Amino acid sequence: MAERRVNVGWAEGLHARPASIFVRAATAAGVPVTIAKADGSPVNAASMLAVLGLGAQGGEEIVLTSDAEGAEEALDRLAKLVAEGLDELPETV
């Protein structure tokens, strides 16, 4: 199982627009990914409601996981997106 631990780079956390950007990237990753708070239960990273339900705040650690083929690269891209708090999807997602 591939895993990435990363701090949320969006000041407002994973709410509204940042959550939408993340969910679109997770969906485009092409592999099933879960997301969780460091001490919480994992949820589907491609589900807007599930991601919003995490209530992840800016600076808080989250855990991205996947056991699919190609997961390492997908998690690297998603972790970078989250850590940098990007306002738009990068071209390589």
Per domain, the residue ranges of the chain are 2-84
- Read off the pLDDT of each residue in 30-58 and give the average, rounded to a whole number: 96
pLDDT of the residue at 93? 45
**pTM (2 d.p.):** 0.91
Identify the CATH homologous superfamily for domain 2-84: HPr-like (3.30.1340.10)
Would you name the residues annotated as active-site residues?
A: 15
**Rounded-to-integer distance, Cα 19 and Cα 10, Å:** 10
Q: What is the DSSP code (8-state) at residue 65?
A: E
- Read off the pLDDT of each residue in 17-26 and give the average, rounded to a whole number: 95
- Read off the pLDDT of each residue in 40-54 and give the average, rounded to a whole number: 97
pLDDT of the residue at 91? 57
Q: Are 66 and 30 in contact (CB under 8 A)?
A: no
Please give the mean pLDDT across all residues of the chain. 92
- Read off the pLDDT of each residue in 43-65 and give the average, rounded to a whole number: 97
